[in-house]
Amino acid sequence: MTALPIRDRLTGTWWMTHRRLSALLRNPAVLVLTLAQPMVWLFLFGQLFQKVAELPGFGAQSYLDYIVPGVVIMNAVSLNSFAGMATMDEIERGTLDRFLVTPVRRGALVNAGVIEQALSTAFQSLVIILLGWAAGADYPGGPGGLAVLVAAAVLIGVVLAALSNTLALLVRDRNTIIGLNVMLLLPLTFLSSAFMPEGLMPSWIGHVAAANPVSWALDGARAALSADPDWASAALHGSWLLALTAATVALATYSVRSYQKSR
């Protein structure tokens, strides 16, 4: 009895994803241009703070080794925080309203955006990893650790994209979306373990960082990337991210239904 709805959802997701990816491929420069900021973080911060790795208890051979996962996750956060702007475009053009009167399931509309953001995040994460390797970064965890890093970036990216789309559907105001994202972006980044291990932070910042989902992604990735991977820690942090991802995607799906009722 549930086979038909599942097939309809998969079919709708396929076509909506195909539509979004086709639009992205027509303008691939977006993916390249948005790499400018993480390249600055990687090469500027990697050189500027290289002496930090000499601090007792830092736990990494070089600051570049430490910061590559940080830049990958930070890029996922900044790339996906403004995903709601694309939703605003579709609202303003009336595209979303036209889709809502078709048989396409609401979950398929959300899933298409999730897949697009996930693929974009994975691509950029791989580029940053390769740039870090070219600059001299070492990845002792090998392919398995790098796969966990990319997966963590995708998950935290989907969380931020789903929240951004939810905000767009509920608020429907560009200035509000931009203002909230700008206000949250720096705290999410700097109150995490992106630049400094939690053990070397002031106590209150360390407590905040431990509860920050950005740190969950970073800590899980670094646990898998170490010379002696801590898979238990990686799995624990990954499970927290998966639960948060499921919750935010469900919230975005509910927001589509709420938007439809308000039309």
Domain boundaries, the chain: 37-42+58-262
Tokens read off for 99: 């889709």
Q: How far apart are CA 215 and CA 227, in angstroms?
A: 20
Tokens read off for 174: 């560009």
47 sits in which H/E element: helix 46-48
Residue 238 Cα to chain centre, angstroms: 13
pTM (two decimals)? 0.86
Confidence check: pLDDT of 179 > 90: no
Percent of the chain with pLDDT over 90: 30
pLDDT, mean of residues 160-183: 87
pLDDT for position 158: 92
Tokens read off for 257: 């239904």
Q: How far apart are CA 135 and CA 61, in angstroms?
A: 14
| Beta carbons within 8 Å of 169's beta carbon, 6+ residues apart | 84, 87, 91, 252, 255, 256, 258, 259
Confidence check: pLDDT of 4 > 70: no
* Residue 204 near residue 214 (C-beta atoms within 8 A): no
Q: How far apart are CA 15 and CA 42, in angstroms?
A: 37
